[in-house]
Chain A
């Protein structure tokens, strides 16, 4: 690893970012200044103060531009041996050395403007696991970005080969090994436009978007939407004379339907923008993904970094026999301010047929037959405990409502309060039906959820810690909860309300399995890898042994 002095020397004529970087830095800074400018302009509605604000913004932009140029000049990078060396910063000079073997994920992202201009952003992530890129190159020429991505990943492969002496086949120095031959790629998922539309149409975020749209409606008071609605109401209901209850309900319902419809369309549009052309490919020991309409994302993720899989069958998707697959990785603390929310799930399949999930899972965990795993239910007491837990938030408002109705002498409406009464039991029934756990050879599964059914798949060797928790109520009822902890952000398998004996038994069993998996991993790491087979027809097996190498 080069020292600071060596790095400085190397970087004296290191590579620079593309000159168009300045444009994008200007755009980012501009975005930060535009909002206050707009706010100032709108709130003061023109006039002298607005002009002053614009002038101020203009003055602030000049040092910003100078800073941008200086930063561009200061940013230098170089591929030196087994490391990526970078230097950045004008006032605070920062040297960073990233060993290529540590690189876990390299993404190439192109926003719409960047695509038009033929440049791209490259993000390098290591096992640091904060979810933030260790190195961001913004921007490089698109072809340079892709070439660098290949070099970094290839360099990673050969750097790892150099680090593991057992892999040298015939005395030839690993450093001078030829570029690793391409491995046959297996396309795991490729979404058509129709698939993406379905994904957007069934997204559970529709509710959120609808609420947002509904809120937005409140701000369009100036426009004639409310007047238009009144006109529509008159047209549909007729001049029934005055505002009847039925009329109001119709208008209200119409409004709600409109909001939901608009929200739904936005959701579909958003999905198209985000996931158009989604492709997930497995190449050797890596997953490569590619998606996006305006902003194009291309990334690769080593399979070793996969901590767990999550199969989500949301409320809207389950009846259509659809599911979402999320590949959970380490770290995954969501970073505020990042354009993409980095939740540790860098790879996913937005939508897939439920019957296809088994194949997808096999693409990532080759020795797991997902559809064949039996999910065991937990103690029946879970149903009643959950029902009791949900009863309180339902019964209290109902009681208050009943009291209010009695107070206002509207006792005729009391029967209506009986409607939500079965709700706690129904929800609890759903939750009980979904909740369960399962074991496969080398994997632990957990399932849960009320409206959305989520199944977690955790390989034994990715289990970090095991917990058995019992609340005072559980102890009284002879129950306990088992938690299987992983390194995935927010990822753990939680099996609630098992009979206490079963809980202890499960923890003991998992402990033995994890221990065995750790032993197996140690063995694989130390065993010499088989020498790479002779090239056949242009393809050859990846010469890194699949399991165990860091």
Chain B
């Protein structure tokens, strides 16, 4: 058998450049961040109303400012921090605003690939791709915030590229 046929991968070109996530994920992240903030604000406000101390209102106000500020400022930075790229032999995922992570998964090490949608993601037509490996630290490599057709295409593409070898 020739070297070429052994190493031939399905005719799918690698990505030319790192890909970004779908911009709509920013809204999803904002909503997800605002839910616990809203709960805390309402709980704090409820406590302030019941107890009746005026200074207690500072608590829900604080939650509002911190949670709201975080929900406003962080998601766009998170969107900028995420990137992914399907290379010739591997998938590279970069993430992290403060803690930067760069993960490399070789196609030969992919066990299987899933797509997953939370309820809010589904509302926006987004999904995430979960790449499972046999690793312990990198057991699941996740790419969130992809348009559903993109996610499914990526899943199928990776499944085809990963081949049928015994990765362990």
| Residues in chain A within 8 A of chain B (CB atoms) | 127, 129, 307, 330, 463-472, 475, 483, 485-492, 507, 511, 514-515, 518-519, 521-523, 525-526, 550
Inter-chain contact A491/B103, CB cutoff 8 Å: no
Inter-chain contact B138/A464, CB cutoff 8 Å: yes
Inter-chain contact A483/B165, CB cutoff 8 Å: no
Query: Quick one: closest B residue to A517, CB to CB?
Result: B108
Task: Pick 21 A–B contacts, CB within 8 A, sort by A.
Answer: A330-B168, A464-B109, A464-B138, A464-B167, A465-B104, A467-B104, A468-B101, A469-B100, A483-B137, A483-B138, A485-B136, A489-B136, A492-B136, A511-B106, A514-B108, A515-B106, A518-B106, A518-B108, A518-B165, A519-B7, A523-B6
Inter-chain contact B106/A514, CB cutoff 8 Å: yes
CA distance A490 to B139 in the complex (A): 12
CA distance A472 to B98 in the complex (A): 5
Q: Give the Cβ gap from A466 to chain B, nearest Cβ, in Å.
A: 4
**Residue from A465, A472, A492 having most chain B Cβ neighbours under 10 A:** A465
Q: Give the Cβ gap from B168 to chain A, nearest Cβ, in Å.
A: 5
Q: Which residues of A sit under 8 angstroms from B1, Cβ to Cβ?
A: 526
Inter-chain contact A465/B103, CB cutoff 8 Å: yes
B6, B99, B101, B136: which contacts A491 (Cβ < 8 A)? B136
Inter-chain contact A485/B135, CB cutoff 8 Å: yes
User: Is B12's beta carbon under 8 Å from chain A?
Assistant: no
Q: Give the Cβ gap from A451 to chain B, nearest Cβ, in Å.
A: 24
A465, A475, A522: which contacts B137 (Cβ < 8 A)? A465
Inter-chain contact A127/B168, CB cutoff 8 Å: yes
User: Is B19's beta carbon under 8 Å from chain A?
Assistant: no
Known A514-B106, A518-B106, A523-B6: A550·B90 in contact at CB below 8 Å: no
Give the number of residue pairs across the A-B interface with Cβ within 8 Å.
95
Query: Quick one: closest A residue to B88, CB to CB?
Result: A515
Give per-residue flags for B90-121: 1 if the beta carbon is below 8 A from chain A beta carbons, else 0. 10000000111111111011000000000000
Q: Which residues of A sit under 8 angstroms from B102, Cβ to Cβ?
A: 467-469, 507
Instruction: Give the number of residues in B that approach A within 8 Å (Cβ atoms).
Output: 28
A471, A487, A519: which contacts B136 (Cβ < 8 A)? A487
Known: A464-B135, A522-B165. 11 other contacts (CB 8 A): A467-B101, A467-B102, A469-B99, A469-B101, A471-B98, A471-B99, A485-B137, A492-B135, A511-B89, A511-B106, A518-B165
What 10 A-B pairs are tightest by C-beta distance, nearest first? A465-B138, A464-B135, A518-B108, A485-B135, A487-B134, A468-B102, A466-B104, A485-B137, A485-B138, A465-B135
What does DSSP make chain A's interface, helix, strand, loop or mixed?
mixed
Inter-chain contact B99/A467, CB cutoff 8 Å: no
CA distance A469 to B98 in the complex (A): 11
Q: Give the Cβ gap from A103 to chain B, nearest Cβ, in Å.
A: 15
User: Is B146's beta carbon under 8 Å from chain A?
Assistant: no
CA distance A509 to B163 in the complex (A): 23
Q: Which residues of B sit under 8 angstroms from A491, Cβ to Cβ?
A: 136
Q: Give the Cβ gap from A438 to chain B, nearest Cβ, in Å.
A: 20
Query: Quick one: closest A residue to B163, CB to CB?
Result: A522
User: Is B148's beta carbon under 8 Å from chain A?
Assistant: no
User: Is B71's beta carbon under 8 Å from chain A?
Assistant: no
Inter-chain contact A525/B165, CB cutoff 8 Å: yes
Inter-chain contact A521/B165, CB cutoff 8 Å: yes
Q: Which residues of A sit under 8 angstroms from B165, Cβ to Cβ?
A: 518, 521-522, 525
Known A518-B109, A526-B1: A467·B166 in contact at CB below 8 Å: no
Question: Using a CB-CB cutoff of 8 Å, which residues 123-168 of chain B contact chain A?
Answer: 133-138, 141, 163, 165-168
CA distance A469 to B95 in the complex (A): 10
CA distance A28 to B99 in the complex (A): 50
Query: Quick one: closest A residue to B5, CB to CB?
Result: A526
CA distance A97 to B112 in the complex (A): 24
Known A519-B7, A522-B6: A464·B133 in contact at CB below 8 Å: yes
Known A485-B137, A486-B136: A470·B108 in contact at CB below 8 Å: no
CA distance A486 to B109 in the complex (A): 11
CA distance A522 to B167 in the complex (A): 11
CA distance A470 to B96 in the complex (A): 9
Q: Which residues of B sit under 8 angstroms from A463, Cβ to Cβ?
A: 109
Q: Which residues of B sit under 8 angstroms from A468, Cβ to Cβ?
A: 100-103
Inter-chain contact A550/B166, CB cutoff 8 Å: yes
Q: Which residues of A sit under 8 angstroms from B137, Cβ to Cβ?
A: 465, 467, 483, 485, 492
Q: Which residues of B sit under 8 angstroms from A523, Cβ to Cβ?
A: 6
Query: Quick one: closest B residue to A508, CB to CB?
Result: B104
A465, A515, A519: which contacts B133 (Cβ < 8 A)? A465
Q: Which residues of B sit under 8 angstroms from A518, Cβ to Cβ?
A: 106, 108-109, 165
Inter-chain contact A487/B105, CB cutoff 8 Å: no
A470, A488, A515: which contacts B89 (Cβ < 8 A)? A515
Q: Which residues of B sit under 8 angstroms from A465, Cβ to Cβ?
A: 103-105, 109, 133, 135, 137-138, 141
Query: Quick one: closest A residue to B3, CB to CB?
Result: A523
CA distance A124 to B2 in the complex (A): 40
Known A507-B102, A526-B1: A515·B136 in contact at CB below 8 Å: no
CA distance A523 to B136 in the complex (A): 27
CA distance A471 to B1 in the complex (A): 47
Question: Using a CB-CB cutoff of 8 Å, which residues 1-43 of chain B contact chain A?
Answer: 1, 6-7
Query: Quick one: closest B residue to A525, CB to CB?
Result: B165
Inter-chain contact A487/B168, CB cutoff 8 Å: yes
CA distance A511 to B107 in the complex (A): 11
Query: Quick one: closest A residue to B100, CB to CB?
Result: A470
Query: Quick one: closest B residue to A462, CB to CB?
Result: B168
CA distance A397 to B121 in the complex (A): 48
Query: Quick one: closest A residue to B131, CB to CB?
Result: A465
Inter-chain contact A515/B90, CB cutoff 8 Å: yes
CA distance A129 to B139 in the complex (A): 14
Query: Quick one: closest B residue to A516, CB to CB?
Result: B89
Query: Quick one: closest B residue to A466, CB to CB?
Result: B104
Q: Give the Cβ gap from B160 to chain A, nearest Cβ, in Å.
A: 16
